[in-house]
A and B are shown apart, each in its own frame.
Chain A
Amino acid sequence: MDVTILLQTILSGMLQGGLYGLIALGLGLIWGVMKVVNIAHGEFLMLGAFMTYFLFNPFGLNPFLSALITGPAFFLIGLVIYKYLVRRTVGAPELISLLLTFGISIFILNAAILAWTPDIRAVGYALPSVSFSGLIVPLSRLYAFIAAILLTISFFIFLSKTYLGKAIKALTQNYDAAHLVGIDTDRVSMISFGLGLAFAATAGSINTVANPALTPMIGYLYILKAFAIVVLGGVGKPFGALAGGFLLALAESLGTVYWHAEASVVIAFLVLLLTLFLRPSGLLGRKE
């Protein structure tokens, strides 16, 4: 076995894993706090990517910097969507919120096709690669990886150090108990939903660096994977998404190189099934 190939495979898997973690972060947050599986997560990611495209194309704005715009913008949009739509389904059976977010997903997808046509666009932002001792590191993916790690760490610090963050954690652990001890669960949920959408849009922005092509239909490429990553890593754990992302991406890249290019999806979901079997609450989830 060629060691360079093995190392390169692991490196590529790690870089992709960071991106996966970023993509799943917002989905896991909303799911953890209010038990709402946001099926429209992929569509918000798509909207973030489109916003990045429209900031890049006339203005030449760096996609990493445009995340600083798409994130806050979708935080506000998230507050509004929570207030007028999602709030009504919190506490209701999960099927109800599933139906709601599914509806939002279909609405956004078709509105986007109407507005922008199904044409393929691309964010023409490219960075060179660097190589050291035979290993190749594409800088675009390295920076996306670093951004994902930094975002996850800041989110972790926010959760542990601030009152609001602790409140979010409390809701994740037990929504009703949090309510009983006097936490404004409605307000905290609203902010969590906003944060979830902000993470989705940020992921959309940064993902254009790694995968330049976008159409209104790209959301579905990511929602299934994001779902699997959240389950793999453990719902409601800030590092869960990152851990799940690494596991999935490493399984995919090793499967691709040492088995078959088409094997990545099979292996990824085999890993998911195994995890559900051995650790039903995810890698970082509490044992039940």
Chain B
Amino acid sequence: MSPISKRTLAVVISIVIVVAAVGTLALLQLPPFGPAAPPKDEIVIGMSISLTGKYATPGTFQLQGVQLWVKDVNADGGILVDDYGKKLPVRLVYYDDKSEKETAVRLAEKLIDEDKVDVLFGPYGSALTFSVAPIAEARKTLMISIMGSSDKIFAQGYEYVIQLLTPGSHYLRGTLDLVKAKDPTATRVAALYADDAFSTVAGQGAVAYAEELGLEVVYNETYPKDITDFSSILISLKATNPDVIVGGGHYEDGILLCRQLKEMDVNAKAIGILVAVPIPAFREDLGPDAEYILGPSQWEPGVQYVPDFGPTPAEFFSSFEAEFGVEPEYRAASGYGAGLLAQKLIVEAGTLAGESLRQKAGELEFTTFWGEFKIDPETGLQVGHDMVVMMWIGGERYIVWPPAAAETDPVYPKPPWGGA
């Protein structure tokens, strides 16, 4: 056996020293306790969404909005995650919940437990969102409620559910803000709203907000949601001589209410009606009487928001139309808006851990094409996003409030009804 040459020995010793040094450094890099972050090459977003059943139409819009965001963000190389020191592409996993609560719950469990999604996107509508929220909560997975407007979802003490939409109780705030800003002499508010869950929350929210603004609530009543005649109710309402009338419910009673406000010659400086006003049929069905009535909407293509993150409203509109061949409505915009929210949270938090994302959500305030984002850090309730207020003027539909979104000035005070 020949003795080991000095040269060989030197090489071996060098290798040992290098390995030891690197090993030591590597050990020092590891966190003292707990496992290392598992290697990850993508961000997984999960959503149970209604593609069949009664929510199929809005559900499809919501999905398309999310899909467009995924496409845009991946075209940009993905989202930078500090934990991994690189951009990770986004993969969307979605299943059809058939507009059924039971299915939505089962799919949410599957998405979190089997597909290991990093962020869960909420399904369509308050009812399904309400059912799915506890699943995300129990697994400490951040859930962005995309189309759940109900305040009740955020009164359950959930820590991992955050809201994107303006909550139902704030729907009529814009109308009151508008009046307050335009006319300090308009102080008498009449609230008349349907007795279903959604309209009651919106109506009571308006009453509470009116009082907060120092206005006098002179009339506050509900009506049966299947109402076929408002005449007698309007006799009582008219007798209170209001400056502002807010309320309504859904489309059928909305147009009946407007029609009968005219028939009974009930005039006010501002009339704000839930749901019906932004719908194009409202103008066709009521004709010129539809004009100058105020109506809230979550989002409209013409919003003038100047985003500090993501595309402008016009860019979103044209890219959505190019991708799907139809104009986006608010339910598509909310899908894209939810994507931007997830993106912003991941970038700012630098991690995919649900707890950190949720904490960051409570701290952030920013504006996208969808509008402002700011939640109550405790409950996750949306408090930053404003409803836009719509008005038909000369046969065209305009955003008239808030000033940050408005296309034109509202006609104020509302001209009296003609004909009576």
Using CB atoms and an 8 Å cutoff, list the residues of chain A in contact with chain B.
2, 5, 8-9, 12-13, 15-16, 120-122, 124, 126, 128-131, 136, 138, 140-141, 210-213, 215, 221-222, 252-254, 256-257, 260-262, 264-265
Contacts and interface: CB of A to CB of B under 8 A. Distances in A.
A252 B235 CA distance: 13
Contacts of B420: 128-131, 136
B111 to A, nearest CB: 30
A253 B419 CA distance: 24
Contacts of A120: 251-252, 281
B285 interface: yes
A213 B255 contact: yes
Contact of A136 (B229, B251, B253, B265): B265
Interface in B278-299: 281, 284-287, 289
Contact of B255 (A122, A210, A215): A122
Contact of A141 (B195, B263, B286): B263
B257 to A, nearest CB: 10
A215 B263 CA distance: 23
B222 A261 contact: yes
Given A120-B281, A138-B231, A222-B228, 15 more contacts: A9-B232, A121-B281, A122-B281, A124-B286, A129-B262, A129-B264, A136-B265, A138-B260, A213-B251, A213-B253, A213-B285, A221-B228, A252-B232, A257-B235, A264-B232
Contacts of B253: 213
5 closest A-B pairs (Cβ-Cβ)?
A: A128-B419, A138-B263, A122-B285, A12-B231, A253-B232
A120 B284 CA distance: 13
B2 interface: no
B233 interface: yes
B232 A210 contact: no
Which of B192, B236, B251, B256 counts the most A-chain CB atoms under 10 A from its CB? B236
A256 B224 contact: no
B226 A256 contact: no
Contact of B252 (A2, A8, A213): A213
Contact of B289 (A126, A140, A256): A126
29 contacts: A9-B235, A15-B231, A120-B251, A122-B285, A124-B285, A124-B286, A126-B259, A128-B419, A129-B262, A129-B263, A129-B264, A131-B265, A131-B420, A136-B263, A138-B231, A138-B260, A138-B264, A212-B255, A213-B253, A221-B228, A252-B232, A257-B232, A257-B235, A261-B192, A261-B221, A261-B233, A262-B195, A262-B221, A262-B224
Interface residues of B, number: 35
Contact of A264 (B224, B259, B265): B224
Given A120-B251, A213-B256, A260 B264 contact: no
A252 B224 CA distance: 12
Contacts, number: 99
B265 A12 contact: no
Contact of B256 (A16, A124, A212): A212
Given A9-B232, A120-B252, A212 B265 contact: no
A129 B221 CA distance: 25
Interface string B287-331: 101000000000000000000000000000000000000000000
A212 B229 CA distance: 11
Interface string B202-244: 0000000000000000000111101011011101100100000
A222 B265 CA distance: 27
Given A122-B281, A124-B284, A261-B222, A13 B232 contact: yes
B222 A262 contact: yes
The binding surface of chain B is classed by DSSP as: helix
Given A8-B235, A16-B231, A140-B263, A212 B226 contact: no
Nearest to A252: B232
Nearest to B282: A122
B287 A136 contact: no
B229 to A, nearest CB: 5
Given A129-B264, A261-B223, A210 B229 contact: yes
Contacts of A126: 259, 262, 286-287, 289
B263 A256 contact: no
Contacts of B260: 138
Contacts of B262: 126, 129
B264 A256 contact: no
Contacts of B263: 129, 136, 138, 140-141
Nearest to A128: B419
B295 to A, nearest CB: 15
A18 to B, nearest CB: 12
A257 B233 CA distance: 6
Which of A5, A124, A265 counts the most B-chain CB atoms under 10 A from its CB? A124
A15 to B, nearest CB: 7
Nearest to A140: B263
B219 to A, nearest CB: 10
Contacts of A212: 255-256, 259, 285
A286 B420 CA distance: 44
A124 B260 CA distance: 13
Contact of B236 (A131, A141, A257): A257
Contacts of B286: 124, 126
Nearest to A23: B228
A9 B259 CA distance: 18
